[in-house]
A and B are shown apart, each in its own frame.
Chain A
Amino acid sequence: MNREPFFRRKTSISYKTEEKTVLRGYNVSDLAEAGYTFCDAMFVLFQQRLPTEEEEKMLEYEMGEFLEHSMSPSAASAFGVISGRPSITAAAAAAVSTFGSAHGPGAAHGYMMHKYIERARVEGISLEEMGKILVDEHMDAGFAVMGMGQPQHLDGDPRAEPTHIKHEQLGINGVYLELQRSIEKHFNARRKREGKSYVAVNMIGAGNTALAEIGFAPNAAWCIGCVTRGYSCAAHALYQMKKGRAWAASKREPMVQMLDLSMIKYVGPEDREVPSQAERQEYAKKQKEEGGWKKWVL
């Protein structure tokens, strides 16, 4: 058996010998034997340290909340992928890869917080004031204020405010929560002045704030949120795989399936004749000149 390194890099994360696997200096088998939890190990992985009990509790709470969110873009991806019956891992990979700039954009929120905390420090402004500046700058520029609003939970994500409260209850609140609370206050004050409805904090605003507070870098926090969701997406995919119909288009199912032909609504160019090869060059030239195609370019 060839046990030569498969891929070589200088790394400060882990090493593995025939005797042990060591993560940031800790033998992982010893870590598990000593009773440390998976959430403890996440601090070791991303922060090179063991957390306090309160920090571990906060992460446990958050990962528990992040895990399941029923039908979101990530679960829909897992459903779609598994309907072709690849390996279950492909559905999980697709689900995790679904997270981007709209679905769970945790890293971007983290970097936004860093930028404004740093400005508060450099400019000698309180975090309370900086929250208002952040909101005004974003709204004046026509940008969305990250961490606010959720398209399905119109009265506020049921997980978000309890996460803030847990954050405070555990006594681990610091600069991040202070700034986030200020953002929420000034965001809604401005919306009220503008005659707009109240918009509550979402799980990026609440969850990512707590993750930042307990020491996770923006991308580490993003990883935690998105990969945790992978578990539930895998469960959804397994359900589809074991109890659903492959291809998702069967006419024999009592309910119209996701990919039934009748689910297709077409809004593109009208049906048109295919030009012969003899006509093609003249046809293409005219079509290109007329320019009607430009409205369809993606």
Chain B
Amino acid sequence: MGVIGNLDDPRLNFDYSKRERGTVPQDKKRDPFQWVSEVAYKNVHRIVTRGYDTTELVESGYGLPDIIFVDFQARIPLIEETQMLNYLMVLSLDDGLSSPAAIARIAGSSTTLLTQACGASILAFGHAYGAFDAFGKMLDTYLALVENEGKTTTEAAELLAKEHLDAVHLGVSDLMLKDPAAKRAVARAEKLGVSGKYIAFMKEVVAAAQKLSDKPVDLDMLGATGAIMMDLGFSSDATWVIVAITRSFGAGAHWCEEVEREPQRRFGEDLTPKEDYDGPEDRSIPTLEERKKVASAVEYKTPEEWKKGFEEKQKMYGTGWRIIEDVVDPRDSLKKQGKK
């Protein structure tokens, strides 16, 4: 057999004509693969999470919020902590027709399984809607300034508010000016004696944001729920996913109602009115022969050309070019390490 395509190119990392066939033999030098977990195990007769037999837990009167503590924190919570988690889970269960319910309903309108709709609703929690991870990491970053750099909590809160005043994950906004639920949750945490450094810090962030903002703002549900969950000992990502899953029960009810009340959507059924369209005008399609004259390449040879093309592409919606995400700059890390 001759050479296939470019497979004799000298720049290749090895000789493609001499590649071995067949799968890789099992590695006997290392331990065989097992599902390693420090969360739970089971055998034929037991299911054990963090050392506690789950049937013995429920027979002893422990309930769902207790076992969430056990699973995520490897400890039996105080009664007050369970009460607080119950409180937050009640508040998190449903939020009307917001993103998780909407996604579950859209999935339901295609007659998916309920579990797929519930899974989809969890995916609605991102870094804007239900941004508990971003929120928690932000608090930890600024509280670290207190711990490591000697700033006061007031200074750290002022800096946080200044640098994140318009951020959707600030936890302070104009969303809850008329609804007392967020403040009541914090008051409950204080009454139960489960408030700690996160709630205290969040209060300072609220005060700082109120000073800086040109409109009325106050603690919102993201800020209240996030701070309380972290005072209960949950990490920011645990908080994120616990709240998202809790909301998923509500999404299940919305899936049910969608299936019960609304028509099923068929492939190709939905129309998109032209008045909602603002892309290029309708145009004729060139023949394949005409393509050479009409089509132009977008490969750029210089950074200048690239930049120009980049900006041109940013004028189009739905291409992804308008979305700018940042990645970690290693120079910042080098600076922190004193290497630059």
Q: Is residue B65 within 8 Å, beta carbon to beta carbon, of the partner chain?
A: yes
B164 interface hit (Cβ, 8 Å): no
A262 interfacial by beta-carbon distance below 8 Å: yes
Residues on the B chain within 8 Å of A40, using CB: 90
**Stretch from B116-124, B137-145, B282-290, B330-338 that touches the partner:** B116-124
Please measure, in the bound complex, the distance between the C-alpha atom of A31 and the C-alpha atom of B181, giving whole angstroms.
Answer: 11
Q: B95 touching A38 by the CB < 8 A rule?
A: no
B114 near A255 with CB under 8 A, answer no
The contact of A256 among B30, B90, B115, by CB within 8 Å, is B30
CA of A63 to CA of B246, assembled, Å: 12
Q: Judge whether B44 and A155 touch: CB under 8 Å.
A: yes
Q: Is B26 an interface residue (CB 8 A)?
A: yes
Q: Are B40 and A262 in contact (CB under 8 A)?
A: no
Q: Are B90 and A41 in contact, CB atoms less than 8 angstroms apart? A: yes
Neighbour of A33 across the interface among B123, B184, B258, CB < 8 A: B184
Those of A137-196 within 8 Å (CB) of chain B? 152-155, 158-159, 162, 166
CB pair A162 B119 closer than 8 Å: no
Contacting pair A158 B95 (CB below 8 A): no
Within 8 A of B (CB), among A84-134: 87-90, 92-100, 107
Tally of chain A residues near chain B (CB < 8 A): 105
User: Which residue of A38, A92, A166, A260 is within 8 Å of B64 (Cβ)?
Assistant: A38
Instruction: Check A9 for interface membership: any CB of B closer than 8 A.
Output: yes
Task: Give the chain B neighbours of A158 by CB distance below 8 A.
Answer: 45-47, 55
The answer to whether B245 and A92 have CB atoms under 8 Å apart is yes
Could you say which residues of chain B place their CB within 8 Å of the CB of A294? none
B160 at the interface (CB under 8 A from A): no
Q: Are A21 and B64 in contact (CB under 8 A)?
A: no
Does B18 count as interface, using CB distance less than 8 angstroms? no
Which of B55, B57, B246, B262: most chain A CB closer than 10 A? B55
Most chain B CB within a 10 A radius of its CB, from A6, A153, A235, A238: A235
- Which single member of B26, B115, B120, B262 contacts A226 (CB below 8 Å)? B115
Q: Which size class do B's interface residues fall under?
A: 35 or more
Q: Find out whether the CB atom of A222 lies under 8 angstroms from the CB atom of B115.
A: yes
The answer to whether A234 touches B47 (Cβ under 8 A) is: no
Residues of A within 8 A of B254 (CB): 11, 13
**Contact partners of A223 in chain B: CB under 8 A:** 114-115, 118, 249, 252-253, 255
The reply on B174 being an interface residue by CB < 8 A is yes
Alpha-carbon distance between A249 and B38 when the two chains are bound, in angstroms: 20
B172 adjacent to chain A (CB < 8 Å) = no
Which residues in window 1-56 of B have CB below 8 A to A?
Answer: 1, 4, 21-27, 30-42, 44-49, 54-55
Taken residue by residue from 195 to 239, chain A's Cβ proximity to chain B (1 for < 8 Å, 0 otherwise) reads as 000000000000000000000010110111011101110111011
Q: Which of B22, B68, B179 contacts A67 (CB 8 A)?
A: B68
Closest Cβ neighbor of A27 among chain B residues? B181
Whether, in the assembled complex, B194 has its beta carbon less than 8 Å from a beta carbon of chain A, the answer is no
Q: A32 to B185, alpha carbons, bound, how many Å?
A: 9
Q: Which residues of B contact A42 (CB under 8 A)?
A: 93, 249
Closest approach, in angstroms, between the C-beta of B315 and any C-beta of chain A? 24
Q: A256 with B27: in contact, given A71-B35, A88-B237 (CB under 8 Å)?
A: yes
B149 in the interface (beta carbon within 8 A): no
Contacts of B123 on A, CB cut-off 8 Å?
89-90, 93
Closest-by-CB residue of A relative to B38 is A239
Instruction: Report yes or no: B38 in contact with A28, Cβ–Cβ below 8 A.
Output: no
Using an 8 Å CB-CB cutoff, how does the interface string of A25-56 with B read, 1 for contact, 0 for none?
00011011101111111100110000000000
Name the contact of B105 in the complex, choosing from A1, A7, A152, A263 (C-beta under 8 A): A7
Q: What's the minimum C-beta distance from A90 to chain B, rounded to whole angstroms?
A: 7
In chain B, residues 244-275, which have Cβ atoms closer than 8 Å to a Cβ of chain A?
Answer: 244-246, 248-250, 252-258, 261-262
Segment 146-194 of B: residues with Cβ below 8 Å from A: 173-175, 177-181, 184-185, 188
Interface pair A89/B249, CB less than 8 Å apart? no
List residues of B (66-116) whose CB comes within 8 Å of A's CBs: 66-68, 71-72, 83, 86-91, 93-99, 101-102, 105, 113-116
Say how far A29's CB is from chain B's closest CB, in angstroms: 4
Choose among B32, B89, B181, B261 the residue that contacts A21 (Cβ–Cβ < 8 A).
B181
B130, closest chain A residue (CB) = A89
Most central of A67, A166, A228, A264 by chain B CB within 10 Å: A67
Is A256 in contact with B31, judged by CB distance below 8 angstroms?
Answer: yes
Residue B125, interface by CB 8 Å: yes
Judging by beta carbons under 8 Å apart, are A239 and B37 in contact?
yes
Any chain A CB within 8 A of the CB of B216?
A: no
Q: Is B242 an interface residue (CB 8 A)?
A: yes
Contact check, B58 vs A262: say whether CB atoms are below 8 A apart: no
Are A238 and B237 interface neighbours, CB within 8 A? yes
Q: A234: which B residues are within 8 A, CB to CB?
A: 238, 241-242, 245
Q: Known pairs A19-B178, A39-B63. 15 more at Cβ < 8 A?
A: A5-B97, A21-B179, A29-B179, A29-B181, A46-B252, A60-B64, A61-B58, A69-B40, A70-B41, A79-B35, A87-B133, A92-B119, A96-B115, A220-B252, A224-B249
CB-based closest 6 A-B pairs: A223-B252, A97-B119, A16-B96, A60-B63, A7-B102, A29-B181
Give 8 CB contacts A-B under 8 Å: A21-B95, A37-B86, A99-B115, A100-B113, A154-B44, A223-B115, A263-B33, A271-B22
A interface list, Cβ under 8 A from B: 1, 5-21, 23, 28-29, 31-33, 35-42, 45-46, 60-61, 63-65, 67-71, 76, 79, 87-90, 92-100, 107, 152-155, 158-159, 162, 166, 217, 219-220, 222-224, 226-228, 230-232, 234-236, 238-239, 241, 243-244, 253-258, 260-266, 271, 273-274, 276
